[in-house]
């Protein structure tokens, strides 16, 4: 591994280590499953939000539908009852 790859791996590991409490985060970044959110999740959500700024409404709806179908398929695969995912 070269230095660039090592720094990239270090950055990834550090972002997984830093946790932020839900009460100081905007609602769109909060995780209702726990009291804290990993910095890596916040960065991922920011990247998704930034990417969506350049999408048309149809493209954004298509991405939303695909993520819902994926979540519903996972629920079925686990043998769970399908639960509605609010928009």
Q: How far is CA 82 from the centre of its chain?
A: 21
Residue 44 neighbours by CB distance under 10 Å: 12
Strand, coil or helix: 19: strand
Mean pLDDT by 10 residues, the chain (87 residues): 90 90 89 88 88 78 88 90 78
Residues 20 and 36: their CA atoms lie apart, in Å, by 5
CB 58 within 8 A of CB 45: no
pLDDT at residue 77, rounded to an integer = 92
pLDDT at residue 7, rounded to an integer = 93
């Amino acid at each position: 591994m070269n230095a660039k790859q090592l720094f990239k791996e270090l950055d990834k590991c550090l972002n997984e280590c830093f946790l932020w409490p839900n009460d100081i985060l905007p609602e769109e970044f909060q995780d209702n499953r726990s009291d804290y959110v990993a910095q890596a999740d916040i960065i991922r959500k920011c990247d998704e939000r930034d990417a969506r700024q350049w999408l048309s409404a149809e493209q954004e709806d298509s991405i939303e539908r695909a993520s819902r179908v994926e979540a519903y398929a996972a629920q079925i695969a686990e043998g769970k009852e399908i639960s509605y995912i609010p928009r």
